[in-house]
Chains A and B, each alone.
Chain A
Amino acid sequence: MSDITKQSLSELVKNIKDKKLSSEEVTKAFINRSEKSKELNAYITEDYSSALEKAKKFDQKPNLELKLPGIPMAVKDLFCTDSIRTTAGSKILNNFVPTYESTVTQNIWNEGAILLGKLNCDEFAMGSSNETSFFGNVQNPIDKNLVPGGSSGGSASAVAGQLTPITIGTDTGGSIRQPASFTGTVGLKPTYGSCSRYGIVAFASSLDQAGPMAQNVKDCALLQEVISTYDPKDSTSIDFKRNEYSKELSKNIKGKKIGIPKEYRVDGMPQEIEELWQKGIQYAKDCGAEIVDISLPHTSYALPTYYIVAPAEASSNLARYDGVKYGFRAKGENLTDMYEKTRSEGFGAEVQRRIMIGTYVLSSGYYDAYYLKAQKVRKLIKNDFDEAYKKVDAILTPSTPSSAFKIGEKKDDPVSMYLNDIFTVPVNLAGLPGISIPAGHDAKGYPLGLQIIGKAFDEQNILNIAYAMEEKINFKNKITDWWIK
């Protein structure tokens, strides 16, 4: 089989189970393509030789009952991996090698998958273009010098460029869905509490969720089924009945009520995004869904709320990177001097900006006006969704207000960068599941995504809607392999 890397996860699993392909063949194919794709800069750390060893070992005694039998997979470098360097895209963890495994990655290895390497991301997942990574930009396989989105930019680039059949990212304000949208791939942010945060380098604890990124909805459902487990090691993990999402996947969404929130029609939104949305509404109707106009009145407050809550938590979560215990340490005259030098040399500009914002909004005298108020607004945003879900089963919106932009284009304009998350952050603030599926192209031929937002714990429903719409949309990603010489 020549085009192994073009196969979807589901095809690869079937071929391995049918013994048409060995894990070694598949692993080799993805390693070869990854090695030819260095220009994408998707990897921070490669682990190819041990991946090959594991593949060979798998083939010697293949357990074909597993859900990911011998499937090679690269993961975002925010997941701690035992004995494999984990950097979170930061200089401050440049030399950090965990002695433990995140629950989510452990779940993946338990189902037979094999680690290919660690994928690039924005530093501490703070960014929407993968430009804040200490390890450099990531190229979008769609076009040269195009950002892949962020923060899971390396993950999106690797899936779209077929460097890995599937991957996992993390999503705090859109970090799975926005890059999925920018690269023509599928990305799911599960309900808060669905996937354990144990062993994931924390950005904003009350918002962070791991989730699958894939070439299609079915693959996404399969990986979600693997990574979502109740974990007592994470106090915010929720013990609810989890579906076998891929098995229960259904295109029958007849009679499902899908809400269209008028507040998502924001000022200055490009016409092609509006058109994409209208097309999406038509697809949903074609699938037998019923369209209902709804209102989420506090939507416009979501972004400012997010940019208070997330930096506040981050400023505290990142306090542990102080040069004392692990990671980068700069020399200092005394303890305070060491702290200052370590943190100003170890953290990049965007991370420092967010630490400053977070420190400010938590300061005495400002706490009530910023952090406390933001928490109240967050509750109102959650209430908006609760109200809407009395009338509808899911909500359909664009994933992003634009397609992918050029590297460097927004780097010096944080506010315009933050606006990228305008449609995705409300979902994190409300703790809901959201999936982005590719739904069309803009005038430049860049992919555009639609987002389906579900009720809490209702991943199956939005996966089903995405699955049904995916067939109608029949999206084809235009990847020219421009980076392969």
Chain B
Amino acid sequence: MSKNKSDYLINRKDNQYEVVIGLEVHAQVTSESKLFSASSTKFGAEPNTQVSLVDAAFPGMLPVINEFCVKQAIKTGIGLNAKINNRSVFDRKNYFYADLPQGYQISQFKDPIVGEGKVILDMPDGQKEVGIERLHLEQDAGKSIHDLDPQNTFVDLNRSGVALMEIVSKPDLRSPDEVSAYIKKLRSIMRYLGTCDGNMQEGSLRADVNVSVRAKGSKEFGTRCEIKNVNSIKFMQMAIEYEANRQVDLIEEGKSIDQETRLFDTKKNETRSMRSKEDAHDYRYFPDPDLLPLEVSNEFINQLKTDIPELPDDKKKRFIEEFKLSPYEANILVSDIDTGKYFEEVVAKMGKNKDIKLAVNWITGELFAVLNNKNLEISQSPISAKNLAILVNLIKNGTISGKIAKTVFELMMDGDKDPQKIVEEKGLKQQSDPKALEALIDKIINDNRDKAIEYKQGKEKLFGFFVGQAMKVSGGKANPQLINEILKKKLQ
């Protein structure tokens, strides 16, 4: 059996274990109003200011489905290459909690709006397909705040009734890295579609992680534990790592694994039992009699299909074909919708005589470094695509060297300045006049006769010394290619 680079195995004495992971991702639907009411969904408002009578479950209040959220779910389903169900049913999931005003959550249990689909992950050793089990729409609960008062719990219902998509994967994931790639891919697809902003800090994307382990090569699934509500990729990876090792240790000790729900303690970096299978809630699911089954026609679905933008996988394919990018480069550029947009804008602004490779290097190199440093999204980039295109062209046509370009790039960040102007104002234009450069080199050789002789006698390393001198004397503006050519000629 060949060993893949990405094989993630847990080793103990004589045994190797494989980890099996499935995710239930909760993605907040991008929508102005809630799933069953007209209240705003805006993040960060004062507590209990975005609550309607429906959200607070006043007597006699009834839910009315928000068509926009339905469209968003269907679009997401299309993005996941999934089957869209013409008929789906909203059920009530019954349980008592202070931040659940109705005493039940409206969700979809037996008949979700979206059925089976798949997403493709690009892993270092190739592509990996992950099956999607289903996607369903449901309401979010409110928020209980326990730490504002020693005696009381406060409840904020702003989130109550906000639309969520629960995206359930098949147990196809095998490592923390695959989980990371999967979440990033889901987020990327939903951001392309505009159906979820994927903001994990604001809780727009969070996941329940199902983990089990089995002896390498085994076809049977082990007993799984569900780690609830993990809200960052890093924590998911840490939780999986801990949980898989915990389960392997139990097996190695000859103990069995209890099917249970666990919590990940981010401070102690460990999972803890929350409730066992025996204590699992009986949610008494049944179809919500306040809502009719949701029926969507094929025409409705097809209409939405025409609204679907080019998605990451297609864009990647096109980038490789159209711009001759490597799969690796294409992947980086399509992972985020705004990055792809920025890249294409740069390409467009570069005009006819363009160097796409060079543009990619500048985007993924210098620009990404700056964005990372300043913690900015590419949409907030201090340098516009137009000006980056001009900069790349200046390098390409020999106006400035790559080295000078870095200086220009630094200066551009101050108010998105036009690099052409910077070059002119600061006199950074590359010296490409062969006569002037010849004179400059003649002088250097003259001043360093001894070194020139040494070079001619075979000390080839000294070539770099002459290049360095030329650059130094020219203030870095000499065209390095010409310098090379002239030096070679003169030192023969």
Contact = CB atoms under 8 A, between A and B. Distances in A.
Interface of A: 79-80, 86, 88, 93, 96, 98-100, 102, 197-202, 204-206, 232-236, 312-313, 315-316, 318-320, 322, 324-326, 335-336, 339, 359, 362-364, 367, 371
Contacts of A336: 96
Nearest to B281: A364
Nearest to B54: A233
Contacts of A335: 97-98, 153
B286 interface: yes
B101 A325 contact: yes
Contacts of B61: 198-199
A230 to B, nearest CB: 13
Given A200-B60, A319-B102, A205 B286 contact: no
Nearest to B93: A316
B289 interface: yes
Interface in B96-127: 96-98, 101-104
Nearest to A320: B57
A326 B58 contact: yes
Given A316-B103, A367-B286, A80 B64 contact: no
Contact of A80 (B60, B92, B285, B286): B60
Contact of B96 (A201, A232, A339): A339
Interface string B283-320: 01110011110000000000000000000000000000
B397 to A, nearest CB: 63
Contacts of B92: 316
B62 A324 contact: no
Rank and list the top 4 A-B pairs by shortest CB-CB distance, nearest first: A319-B103, A205-B289, A362-B284, A206-B289
B65 A235 contact: yes
Main secondary structure of the interface of B (DSSP, over half): loop
B97 to A, nearest CB: 8
B215 interface: no
Contacts of A79: 60
Nearest to B155: A324
B64 to A, nearest CB: 5
* Interface size, B (range): 20 to 34
A99 B59 CA distance: 11
Contacts of B200: none
A324 B101 contact: yes
Nearest to B59: A201
Contacts of A326: 58
A312 B286 contact: yes
26 contacts: A80-B59, A80-B60, A86-B59, A99-B53, A100-B58, A198-B60, A199-B60, A199-B61, A201-B59, A202-B59, A235-B65, A236-B289, A312-B286, A313-B289, A316-B104, A316-B284, A319-B102, A319-B104, A320-B103, A325-B57, A325-B101, A335-B153, A362-B284, A362-B286, A364-B284, A367-B286
Contacts of A100: 53, 58
B282 interface: yes
A364 B282 contact: yes
B286 A96 contact: no
B94 interface: yes
Given A235-B292, A236-B290, A316-B92, A322 B59 contact: no
Given A100-B53, A319-B102, A319-B104, A363 B60 contact: no
B69 to A, nearest CB: 14
A363 B286 CA distance: 10
Interface in B48-82: 53, 56-65
B60 A102 contact: yes
B286 A371 contact: yes
A334 to B, nearest CB: 10
B470 to A, nearest CB: 79
A325 B98 CA distance: 9
Contacts of A198: 60-62
Nearest to A96: B59
Contacts of A86: 59
Interface in B27-66: 53, 56-65
B478 to A, nearest CB: 75
A396 to B, nearest CB: 30
A235 B282 contact: no
A47 B272 CA distance: 57
A64 to B, nearest CB: 32
Contacts of B289: 204-206, 236, 313
A101 to B, nearest CB: 10
